[in-house]
């Protein structure tokens, strides 16, 4: 039971405080229903609406292909083929883990980081992140071992 309390405390403290996008002073409490801008009060909402907010573009559910520029510096042995990616996407265990909001936040943080390696090392202290990594490796490793 102590472990769970410690985990939830760590999970809660890892979520960054996000400030109001209008006044940039207080922590946000609300999101604009039209454009999803974060704001903290009625005054900030009114100020935001006076600037003619527009709906944000909805991203497609599937990711576009990765551009060759993003793949520069990644060796071929570090890339996953389509069959392996398909196995990852079909894994029930992985899908269950990805429903965890804390894990989602950690993955978004890694993805948006300029130093992804440092963030990965930091988050490998988080039990949910370790479980995610182990689950992914459990799917990928048997395929890599068979290919050798």
Q: Given this model, what pLDDT does residue 63 score?
A: 53
Predicted confidence (pLDDT) per residue in 62-102, tens digit: 555 655 555 555 555 556 777 888 888 888 888 888 888 99
pLDDT, one tens digit per residue, over 92-114 is 888 888 888 999 898 888 888 88
Share of the chain above pLDDT 90, in %: 2
pLDDT of residue 17: 57
Q: Three-state SS for 94?
A: helix
Domain residue spans of the chain: 16-55, 78-148
25-59 pLDDT, tens digit each:
888 888 888 888 888 899 988 888 888 788 766 55
Which of 100, 93, 82 minimizes the C-alpha distance to 139? 93
CA separation for the pair 140, 125 (Å, rounded): 21
pLDDT of residue 131: 92
pTM for this entry? 0.48
| Residue 5 predicted with pLDDT over 50 | no
């Amino acid at each position: 039971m102590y472990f769970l309390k410690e985990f939830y405390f760590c999970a809660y403290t890892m979520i960054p405080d996000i400030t109001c996008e209008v006044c940039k002073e207080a922590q946000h409490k609300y999101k604009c229903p039209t454009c999803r801008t974060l704001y903290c009060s009625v005054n900030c909402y009114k100020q935001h609406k006076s600037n003619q907010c527009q709906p944000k573009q909805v991203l497609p559910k599937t990711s576009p292909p990765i551009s060759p520029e993003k793949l520069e510096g990644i060796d071929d042995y570090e890339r996953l083929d389509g069959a392996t990616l398909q196995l990852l996407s079909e894994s029930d265990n992985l899908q269950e883990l990805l429903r965890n909001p804390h894990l989602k936040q950690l993955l978004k943080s890694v993805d948006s980081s300029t130093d992804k390696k440092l963030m990965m090392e930091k988050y490998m202290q988080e039990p949910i992140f370790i479980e995610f990594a182990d689950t992914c490796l459990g799917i990928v490793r048997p395929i890599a071992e068979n290919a050798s």
